């Protein structure tokens, strides 16, 4: 009888686990970026609602700003958040962690480009968890004047992408070059489709283009090859990719038209405009999408 009862309990717990509802969260900020972290939520990945609160006020960096908040949930359930904490002159990015997105650790500046005295900035750090090597990869854009061919760019706006790795957010590998396609790039994110199959979604930041493309790699660090044609219109940035069913939705900040846009794909070869199918609150800016248990959303609402 005891064994039978334990079996029933096990099946009951498994049933609860399998039926746990998931929800999409979208990190966000509003200009002028001094308020802090906002969060949007969606049950279908298309229609988004602003929770209408500030969940973390920026306290680090000379200007005390929070732009481009990027977040991932680690295997132990901890949320790790990184963000741009300075527009120019800062060679660090902001970092904090949380178990529930309500109570946060002390904020820290992570000094990633201090070894480059001429570095102009550290923009849009994007965090990715490598589930094969059990480590976090953080990618950002930096300009180092006269380091690379610049085309039409000014020397202070000729970005390349760099990265660091960490397992514990206490020690970080030295910053290294992540992507140099021969022109200015910013706003990169890594998408894993399967083992040995990765996509980078990134912004071409050159003056004639300033829009989004994808390229492909066999590891989350590249090398990145086969760049696509430009996928979005002029003056678009801040791409983020979410898996919704069998589709990948690439959201982006269409700052020319002062709105958020999106395209949809299954193979990263053909893309469909889905602007008429999405709803994003006005004022939402560059963030990242992650999937969490509905109980996290309930805690945020409370």
Res. 19 pLDDT band, cuts 50 70 90:
low
Task: State the Cα–Cα distance between residues 257 and 260, nearest whole angstrom.
Answer: 8
**pLDDT of 75-107, one tens digit each?**
999 999 999 999 999 999 999 999 999 999 999
Specify the pLDDT at position 302: 87
Task: State the Cα–Cα distance between residues 94 and 177, nearest whole angstrom.
Answer: 20
Q: What pairs with residue 194 in β-bridges?
A: 197
- Reply yes or no on whether the pLDDT at 1 is more than 70: no
DSSP string for 266-278: SSSSS-EE-GGG-
- Stated as kind and residue range, the H or E segment containing 260 is strand 259-265
Residue that wins the pLDDT comparison between 5 and 27: 27
Count how many residues are written for the chain: 302
Res. 6 pLDDT band, cuts 50 70 90:
very low
For 22-301, the fitting CATH number among 1.10.3720.10, 3.30.70.790, 3.40.50.1100, 2.115.10.20 is 2.115.10.20
- Reply yes or no on whether the pLDDT at 17 is more than 70: no
**pLDDT of 103-127, one tens digit each?**
999 999 999 999 999 999 999 999 9
Task: State the Cα–Cα distance between residues 122 and 65, nearest whole angstrom.
Answer: 13
- Reply yes or no on whether the pLDDT at 63 is more than 60: yes
Q: Are the C-beta atoms of residues 196 and 219 closer than 8 Å to each other?
A: yes
- Reply yes or no on whether the pLDDT at 136 is more than 80: yes
Residues ≥6 apart with Cβ < 8 Å to 178: 139, 160, 161, 162, 163, 188, 221, 222
Res. 168 pLDDT band, cuts 50 70 90:
very high
Task: State the Cα–Cα distance between residues 269 and 134, nearest whole angstrom.
Answer: 29
Specify the pLDDT at position 150: 87
Mean pLDDT lowest for which of 13-27, 212-226, 268-282? 13-27
Residues ≥6 apart with Cβ < 8 Å to 69: 27, 28, 29, 37, 81, 82, 83, 287, 288
Q: Tell me the mean pLDDT in the region 48-63.
A: 96
Residue that wins the pLDDT comparison between 134 and 4: 134
Specify the pLDDT at position 145: 97
**pLDDT of 182-209, one tens digit each?**
999 999 999 999 999 999 999 999 999 9
Query: What is the C-alpha end-to-end distance of the chain, expressed in Å?
Result: 41
Peptide bond into 215 cis (omega under 30): no
Residues ≥6 apart with Cβ < 8 Å to 32: 65
**pLDDT of 215-269, one tens digit each?**
999 999 999 999 999 999 999 999 999 999 999 999 999 999 999 999 999 999 9
Task: State the Cα–Cα distance between residues 154 and 176, nearest whole angstrom.
Answer: 23
Res. 20 pLDDT band, cuts 50 70 90:
confident
Q: Are the C-beta atoms of residues 15 and 59 closer than 8 Å to each other?
A: no
CB atoms inside a 10 Å sphere around CB 187: 27
Count of helix runs (H) and strand runs (E) in the chain: 2, 19
- Reply yes or no on whether the pLDDT at 3 is more than 70: no
Q: Where do we find the tokens 């802090």?
A: 36
């Amino acid at each position: 009888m005891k064994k039978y009862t334990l079996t029933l309990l096990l099946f009951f717990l498994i049933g609860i686990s399998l039926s746990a509802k998931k929800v999409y969260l979208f990190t966000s900020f509003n200009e002028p970026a001094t308020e802090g972290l906002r969060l949007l939520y969606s049950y279908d990945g298309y229609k988004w609602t602003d929770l209408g609160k500030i969940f973390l006020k920026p306290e680090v960096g000379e200007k005390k700003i929070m732009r481009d908040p990027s977040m991932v949930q680690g295997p132990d359930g901890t949320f790790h958040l990184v963000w741009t904490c300075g527009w120019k002159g800062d060679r660090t990015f902001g970092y904090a962690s949380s178990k529930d997105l309500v109570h946060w650790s002390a904020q820290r500046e992570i000094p990633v480009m201090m070894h480059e005295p001429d570095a102009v900035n550290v923009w849009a750090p994007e965090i990715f968890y490598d589930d094969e090597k059990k480590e976090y990869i953080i990618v950002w854009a930096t300009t180092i004047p006269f380091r690379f061919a610049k085309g039409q760019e000014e020397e202070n706006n000729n970005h390349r992408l760099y990265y660091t790795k960490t397992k514990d957010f206490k020690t970080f590998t030295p910053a290294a070059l992540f992507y140099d396609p021969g022109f200015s790039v910013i706003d990169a994110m890594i998408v894993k489709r399967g083992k040995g199959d990765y996509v980078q979604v990134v912004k071409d930041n050159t003056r004639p283009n300033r829009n989004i493309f994808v390229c492909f790699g066999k590891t989350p660090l590249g090398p990145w090859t086969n760049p696509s044609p430009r996928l979005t219109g002029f003056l678009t940035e801040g791409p983020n990719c979410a898996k919704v069913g069998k589709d990948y939705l690439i959201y982006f900040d269409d700052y020319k038209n002062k709105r958020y846009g999106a395209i949809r794909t299954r193979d990263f070869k053909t893309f469909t405009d889905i602007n008429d199918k999405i709803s994003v609150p006005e004022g939402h800016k560059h963030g990242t999408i992650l999937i969490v248990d509905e109980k996290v959303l309930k805690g945020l609402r409370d």
